[in-house]
Amino acid sequence: MKREFVCIECPRGCDLTAETAQGGVIVAGNFCPRGKMYAEAEMTCPRRIVTSTVRAAHGMIPVKTGGEIRKEKIFEAMARIRALRVDRDVRQGEALSADIDGEGTPLIAAASYRNGER
C-alpha cells in the first residue's frame, strides 16, 4: 500500500510518501527523522496529541494529552475530558486525569488555575 500525506510534525509540512514493504515502511520526502517516524506511525497506528479545555468552577483550563493517543481514541478521550470538573487550584503541568484514552495517557493542565479567580 502506498500513501501520500503532509507531515504535521512542524510548520514545514513536508510532502511524505510511504509504502509498506516486507516487514517495514519505506518513507520518502521527509526533511528530518521526525517525518519518517510520523509516516511510519501513520501507516501502522496513527497517533495525535489532543488539546481541549476542562470546565472549572470559574472558567476553563486548557489541557493536553500527556503524549500522543491513538487517533481512533480521540472522541472517547473528548467525552472523558468533557465529563471532568475542577473545583480546586491547579498548577501547569499537573495531571487532571491519570488515564484519558483508556490506555494510560494522562491529561495535563496547560495553564495554572486559581479557584475563585477568573
Partner 1 sequence: MKKQLVIIGGGPAGLAAAVAAYDAGVRDIAVIEREERAGGILKQCIHNGFGLTRFKESMTGPEYAQRFLDEVNARGIEIMTGTFVTGLGADKKVTCMNERGVFTLEAGAVILAMGCRERSKGALNIAGTRPAGLFSAGTAQKYVNIYGHLPGRRVVILGSGDIGLIMARRMTLEGAKVECVCEIMEHSGGLRRNIAQCLDDFGIPLYLEHTIVEIKGKERVESVVIAQVDKEKKPILGTEREIFCDTVLFSVGLIPENELTKGAGLALDPHTKGCFVDENRETDIPGVFACGNVLHVHDLVDFVSEEAEVAGRAAAAYLACGERERAYIPTEAGENVGYVLPQRAGKGKDVKLYFRVRSAFRNAVIRVEAGAAVKTYRRIAVAPGEMENVTVKAADLADAPSVRVSVVREA
Counting contacts by CB under 8 A, is residue 10 touching partner 1?
yes
- How many residues contact partner 1, by CB under 8 A? 33
SS3 content of the chain, % helix, strand, coil (to 5): 20, 35, 40
Shortest separation between residue 51's beta carbon and partner 1, angstroms? 5
Site for partner 1 in 16-55 (CB under 8 A): 31, 48-53, 55
Shortest separation between residue 23's beta carbon and partner 1, angstroms? 27
CB atoms within 10 A of CB 97: 19
Query: Among residues 92, 103, 114, 116, which is the contact residue for partner 1, using CB under 8 A?
Result: 92
**CB of 21 or CB of 44, closer to partner 1:** 44
